[in-house]
């Protein structure tokens, strides 16, 4: 995990881009920043590092969230697309309500798209000012090859992953949503909160 960090205003060119100097990182011996981090702008690096330092949300599920989760788990077993969409929207809305953010739209589609790299589980689309399109999430409930319904816990984890991207913008006010270690810890904190409540 990356802990305290600080920026100085001096910038230098490096690795084909501009990076901030004077960045103080205290890391454990296992932490490595990805190579592309050093190609990010200093502003994007700050966003990455801020994201990496936040490990959880102050989220405690209430009865409505637990009921929405139970409904989603039940309806996934039936393979009912409309019911799955309704339940996924209700669960996402309850999480957003508890964290005092506007609800995010959720669309559930049937069979996952697939290419040579694998299957697509879910996508988050941030607010698009040009199209004036609000943020939304798209998930798929069936596997690409066999068209089996995704296991309920896997589906919920995918939903929490995409909700995590939304919360990066809506709650944490980050300028971008990166797959940092902090992001994955926040995702896991949502999943744990739901299944351990």
Give the domain ranges of the chain: 11-53, 63-195
pLDDT score, position 25: 39
Q: What is the mean pLDDT of each successive set of 10 residues along the chain, which is 197 residues long?
A: 29 37 39 87 95 94 96 95 97 97 97 90 93 94 94 97 98 96 96 92
pLDDT score, position 22: 34
pLDDT score, position 132: 87
pLDDT score, position 13: 35
pLDDT score, position 170: 96
DSSP structure string for the chain: -B------S-EEEETTEEEESS----B-TT----GGGGGS-HHHHHHHHHHHH---------HHHHHHHHHHHHHHHHT-HHHHHHHHHHHHHHHHHHTT----EEEEEEEPPEETTEE--EEEE--BTTTTBPPEEEEEEE-TTT-PBPPHHHHHHHHHHHHHHHHHHHTS--SS----HHHHHHHHHHHHHHHT-
């Amino acid at each position: 995990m990356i802990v305290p960090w600080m920026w100085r205003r001096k910038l230098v060119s490096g690795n084909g881009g501009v990076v901030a100097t004077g960045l103080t990182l205290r890391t454990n011996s296992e932490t490595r920043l990805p190579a592309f981090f050093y190609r990010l702008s200093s502003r994007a690096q700050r966003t990455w590092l801020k994201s990496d330092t936040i490990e959880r949300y102050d989220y405690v599920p209430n009865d409505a969230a637990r009921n929405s989760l139970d409904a989603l788990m039940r309806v996934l077993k039936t393979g009912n697309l409309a019911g799955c969409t309704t339940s996924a929207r209700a669960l996402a809305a309850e999480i957003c309500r508890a964290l005092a953010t506007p609800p995010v739209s959720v669309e559930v589609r049937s069979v996952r798209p697939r290419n040579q790299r694998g299957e697509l589980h879910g996508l988050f689309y941030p607010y698009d000012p040009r199209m004036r399109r609000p943020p939304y999430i798209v998930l798929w409930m069936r596997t690409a090859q066999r068209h089996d319904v995704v296991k309920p816990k896997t589906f919920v984890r995918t939903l929490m992953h995409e909700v995590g991207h939304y919360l990066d913008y809506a709650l944490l006010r980050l300028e971008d949503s990166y797959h940092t270690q902090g992001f994955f810890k926040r995702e896991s904190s949502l999943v744990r909160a739901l299944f351990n409540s």
